[in-house]
Chains A and B, each alone.
Chain A
Amino acid sequence: AQSVTQLDSQVPVFEEAPVELRCNYSSSVSVYLFWYVQYPNQGLQLLLKYLSGSTLVESINGFEAEFNKSQTSFHLRKPSVHISDTAEYFCAVSRYNQGGKLIFGQGTELSVKP
């Protein structure tokens, strides 16, 4: 069975500082990997995904994540955060041929301070 561990429950940072949100997964088979973002009182939105190909994937708002198969990690990074990036971030995995079922981590609350 798959599992996802987000190593930090809360990450406070100052505006314009870099940030890394860590995600490790365990699975005996190949998986797809996702990062979702949840703003207060909203549903989850896809931030970026890794299905195959290049191990470095990017979002339109400056986030990137790198799939590292040997370390079973999919850490999320941004070189310079904005106040508007304050949200909860969820890492998730799904297994091939499992109908798109996602296993989510517990979430990391990113708090960007001025």
Chain B
Amino acid sequence: DAGVIQSPRHEVTEMGQEVTLRCKPISGHNSLFWYRQTMMRGLELLIYFNNNVPIDDSGMPEDRFSAKMPNASFSTLKIQPSEPRDSAVYFCASSSLQEEQYFGPGTRLTVT
């Protein structure tokens, strides 16, 4: 398996623009997680899905953030409008039942 795939790997955008991050989980995994990592706040869980259904979105910072999982092989995290404080590395991870999570390589987002 190719592992968890994220795109783009790097994104530079201007404040106010819409940003869409994409994730393809490992085939057969039924849970998908979105994390944000910054120096100041460390690794934060934003939202996670089980069987394509959002279970806990309490980590989503504001209404500007939204996430979808239209099918078992694809998820998006959207920020609209983006702000400089959204600059971070965003990770997607997937897992099967209670097994360990497998992380993607991350998307480094810079909002200027």
- Residues in chain A within 8 A of chain B (CB atoms): 32, 34, 36, 42-46, 49, 51, 90, 94, 96, 99-104, 106-107
Q: List 14 A-B contacts (CB under 8 A).
A: A42-B106, A43-B4, A43-B91, A43-B93, A43-B105, A43-B106, A96-B98, A99-B31, A99-B55, A100-B95, A100-B97, A102-B45, A103-B45, A107-B42
> In angstroms, how far is the closest chain B Cβ from the Cβ of A88?
10
In the complex, residue of chain B having the shortest beta-carbon distance to the beta carbon of A43? B103
Chain B 64-77 near chain A by CB (<8 Å), digits 1 or 0: 00000000000000
Given known contacts A99-B50, A104-B42, A104-B43, A44 and B103 CB-to-CB distance under 8 angstroms:
yes
Given known contacts A43-B91, A43-B104, A101-B56, A51 and B43 CB-to-CB distance under 8 angstroms:
no
* Residues in A neighbouring B104, C-beta threshold 8 A: 43
Give A101 to B56 CA distance when docked, in angstroms.
9
On whether the beta carbons of A45 and B31 are closer than 8 Å, the reply is: no
On whether the beta carbons of A100 and B99 are closer than 8 Å, the reply is: yes
The SS class assigned to the A binding surface is strand
Of B43, B48, B50, B105, the residue contacting A90 (CB under 8 A) is B43
On whether the beta carbons of B43 and A101 are closer than 8 Å, the reply is: no
- Interface centre among A43, A46, A90, A101, by most chain B C-beta atoms within 10 angstroms, is A43
Chain B, 50-95, CB within 8 A of any chain A CB: 50, 55-56, 91, 93, 95
In the complex, residue of chain A having the shortest beta-carbon distance to the beta carbon of B91? A43
- Interface centre among A36, A101, A107, by most chain B C-beta atoms within 10 angstroms, is A101
